[in-house]
Amino acid sequence: MTLPGEDLLVVDGLTVRFGGLTALHDVRLSVDAGTVVGVIGPNGAGKTTLFNVICGFVRPQSGRVVWRGEPLVRHRPEHLAGLGIVRTLQGLGLFAGLTVLENVMAGAGRHARTGVLPALVGAGRSARDESDLAARARATLGELGIADLADRLPGVLPYGVRKRVALARALVAEPDLLLLDEPASGLFAELVELSTLILSLRRHMAVVLVEHHMDLVMQVCDRVVVLNFGEVIAAGTPAEIQADPRVAEAYLGDPAEEAPDA
Ligand SMILES: Nc1ncnc2c1ncn2[C@@H]1O[C@H](COP(=O)(O)OP(=O)(O)OP(=O)(O)O)[C@@H](O)[C@H]1O
Ligand SMILES: [Mg+2]
């Protein structure tokens, strides 16, 4: 158990290059237990790459990821749920051939270490484990208001509902750190509910939120880190970030670089 105010995750001096492109340069940020940290920045700023490094999908050229005081060395995505870290993908990442309930059950890697495939073929887990897991998955769907859709296939559901299924799949693992990559993309009416939900998650877990919807970021985040071309150009409270001219400049472009009048 990590207490509120303790660093849960520290990302220290991360540099990632893809060939000649520097996607992240000397990036540092920390996430305390029980807080929501926003990571914002224009398209291509390196936000998803940061998640990919935290998750072990991408190895940095330098720097490290420290989890509960221990550097993560050669960690792999499949170890994450066991560590207590879960992410949602920038898209949906749902299995089209599985029902909503099965998709959510597939997310419970931390509590069901035998994995998805044995669960689906009914091996490796006792019937008791299986029904406990199904009950937890149903309860999570209930918390997100979609319990009645448990037996449907995701493909027939509206996009906003599928986003909820993806979120339920992350939450069912009961992570200590939830990495959300653009949870609001494609959502309109549901934005208020999403902000209420994220705020309620803080009692149970820390959240890193990558998001382009600024209203949402400013409402739910305790701290915000701004990336631009792979570098942290500002970090602070939402109010500090909103007042920071470097942030506006990163989003709007530098007026000095506009084409001169002909
Ligand atoms: N696997 C890869 N190989 C080569 N270049 C990559 C790879 N992944 C990301 N990049 C490049 O690294 C930079 C950062 O990309 P990244 O996806 O992290 O940005 P982002 O901030 O998540 O953008 P968006 O807001 O559009 O999702 C971009 O220039 C991107 O094209
Ligand atoms: Mg991205």
The 8-class DSSP code of residue 168 comes to H
Q: Per CATH, the architecture of 1-75+206-262 is what?
A: 3-Layer(aba) Sandwich (3.40)
CA of 46 to the centre of ligand 2 (A): 7
In 61-202, where does DSSP find H-type helix? 80-83, 100-105, 116-121, 127-143, 159-171, 191-201
- Residue 185: predicted pLDDT: 79
- Residue 74: predicted pLDDT: 84
**C-alpha dihedral (217, 159, 51, 136), degrees to nearest 10:** 100
Give the domain ranges of the chain: 1-75+206-262
Q: Is 24 in the pocket of ligand 1 (CB under 6 A)?
A: no
pTM, whole model, 2 decimals?
0.86
CA of 254 to the centre of ligand 2 (A): 22
Q: Are 160 and 187 in contact (CB under 8 A)?
A: yes
Q: Which of 85-99, 168-182, 185-199, 248-262 has the highest mean pLDDT?
A: 168-182
Q: Is 27 in the pocket of ligand 1 (CB under 6 A)?
A: no
Which atom of ligand 1 lies nearest, measured to the CA of 212?
25
Tell me: the pLDDT tens digits for 7-55? 899 999 999 999 999 999 999 999 999 999 999 999 999 999 999 999 9
C-alpha to C-alpha distance for 224 and 250, rounded to whole angstroms = 15
Tell me: the pLDDT tens digits for 143-180? 888 999 999 999 999 888 898 999 999 999 889 999 99
Q: Which two tokens stand for residue 71?
A: 């550097």
Tell me: the pLDDT tens digits for 192-234? 888 988 998 988 999 999 999 999 999 999 999 999 999 999 9
Q: Which amino acid is at 123?
A: A
Q: Which two tokens stand for residue 89?
A: 């993908």
Q: Is 45 in the pocket of ligand 1 (CB under 6 A)?
A: yes
Which atom of ligand 1 lies nearest, measured to the CA of 45?
21
Atom 9 of ligand 1, nearest CA residue: 49
pLDDT tier at 123 (50, 70, 90 boundaries)?
Answer: low
